Amino acid sequence: MLEKNILNYFKKRKLISQITNNKKVEEILKKKKISIYCGFDPTADSLHIGHILPLLCLKKFQMQGHTPIVLIGGATSLIGDPSFKSKERSLFSYSHVLQWIEKIKKQIFLFLDFSDIPNKAIIVNNYDWFKKLNILFFLRDIGKNFSINHMINKESVKNRISREQGISFTEFSYSLLQAYDFSILYKKYKVFLQIGGSDQWGNITSGIHLTNILHKKEVFGLTIPLLKKSDGKKFGKSSSQTIWLDSKKTSPYAFYQFWINVKDSDVYNYLKYFTSLSIKEIQQIKLQDNFKKKKFKSKEILAEKMTSLVHGKSNFLSAKNNTLVFFSRNIKNLNEKIFRKLKKNNAPTLNLEHSEKNLKDILVRTKLAFSKNHARNLIASHAISINYRKETNIHYIFKSSDKLFKKYTLLSRGKKNFYLLIWK
């Protein structure tokens, strides 16, 4: 159950990184229902887990009667946001972007209510106004409101200027385009608040500044924590570690595994961020984990709720079942029926001809190894197991005895990365 004061709800869950004029925002939210927006640039054909939190925050606002607006950056995706990127994005054609937008819209429908209610969610595409924009108008009436000195001092720009590659004028102009979005959404929908990840603070404040100048109205911004990878970097679309919402790009099993394997130090914050469990319930789960000396309960709850939300209950159950099989560590417990069920439940699977026998080649094909050299190193370092048995021979060739029921083999890297090999 949400509190009446939604900002207090966010604060208790550590969901606010930065906010402009906290007191004023709180007063407005108490007095009336407003429109809130968050932008998503379609620079791939799927959203990833880094996008879940802002969508859930929009959902919380909607549950309180406010109207969530999702801005799809059909135009801004053609430019590329430089915010805390180490290098310039590749440029895409709008025909590609259009295809990606349609796929992303379907994913957004998982989170927000688009039914016929007074505050139904709205999706807009900024290409609709930028395609009509006159460049002389933009440079004269929009660009004149921004100081180059101020823009250069934004953290996202400073980080890029300090690098050898620098930053192009195209990317440098991105902040102005996003600022113009805010002014348009205020004019059209009376949007008073923009939310985004903490890396968007500079872009959001630019939009606040421009809207104030063009419309003589005070609008506000709020940023939320970024979901980060194990190396401390934020999740992005170009990373090999990206966990996508599209089941064809990241299977429900791999999606489930991400949540079940989050760091112990993150799991309770993630329960606050991503679930509707009360703070008291989360504290009780933490006490249970501490009593058992293991953080199983919290991670199981998190993995269940997130996998069910994105992929549905049946895919969650399949992913959980696959996990139980892969992690059983006892080959005697596995019968042919269980292997057939693994395949049916969309476990990570590779079909092979019986003539394909080289372990290094198969490790590369499953992507458990990036290359043959990497495969060699994994085998030599005792990281590879065949049917739960460590294999250290870098020249290993699969034998008939490796094929359980003459057909199945469990191949694993470390304790968490499994593949089911099926020999035809």
| Phi-psi region at 387: left, alpha or beta (left = phi > 0; alpha = psi -120 to 50) | left
Question: What is the residue extent of each domain of the chain?
Answer: 6-224, 251-326, 334-424
Q: Is the pLDDT of residue 240 over 60?
A: no
pLDDT at res. 88: 64
> Once rounded to an integer, what is the mean pLDDT over residues 257-285?
94
Residue 385's DSSP bridge partners are: 390, 412
Q: Is the pLDDT of residue 3 over 80?
A: no
Instruction: For residue 23, give every residue at least 6 positions away whose Cβ sits within 8 Å of its Cβ, in sequence order, or none.
Output: none
Type of residue at 370 = F
Q: Is the pLDDT of residue 231 over 70?
A: no
164-178, 205-219, 308-322, 377-391, range with the lowest pLDDT: 164-178
225-229, 241-245, 279-283, 375-379, range with the lowest pLDDT: 225-229
**C-beta of residue 219 within 8 angstroms of C-beta of residue 25:** no
**Do the strands 389-390 and 384-386 form a parallel or antiparallel pair, or are they unpaired?**
antiparallel
Q: How confident is the model at residue 238 (pLDDT cuts 50, 70, 90)?
A: low
The domain covering 6-224 belongs, at the CATH homologous superfamily level, to: HUPs (3.40.50.620)
The domain defined by 334-424 carries CATH number 3.10.290.10: yes
pLDDT in tens, 395-407: 999 999 999 999 9
**C-beta of residue 270 within 8 angstroms of C-beta of residue 262:** yes
182 token code pair: 């805010």
When the pLDDT of each residue in the chain is averaged and rounded to a whole number, the result is: 91
| CATH architecture of the domain with residue range 251-326 | Orthogonal Bundle (1.10)
Query: What distance in Å separates the CA atoms of residue 374 and residue 407, rounded to the nearest whole number?
Result: 27
Q: Is the pLDDT of residue 219 over 80?
A: yes
Share of the chain above pLDDT 90, in %: 73
State whether residue 93 is helix, strand or coil.
Answer: coil
The predicted model scores a pTM of: 0.88
4-18, 72-86, 186-200, range with the lowest pLDDT: 72-86
Query: What distance in Å separates the CA atoms of residue 249 and residue 246, rounded to the nearest whole number?
Result: 5
What is the Cβ-side half-sphere exposure of residue 141, based on CA atoms within 13 angstroms? Answer: 11
Q: How many residues does the chain have?
A: 424
> Once rounded to an integer, what is the mean pLDDT over residues 253-274?
94
- For the purposes of burial, counting CB atoms within 10 Å of the CB of 265, is it exposed (0-12), middle (13-18) or buried (19 or more)? exposed
Query: What distance in Å separates the CA atoms of residue 3 and residue 285, rounded to the nearest whole number?
Result: 21
> Once rounded to an integer, what is the mean pLDDT over residues 117-128?
97
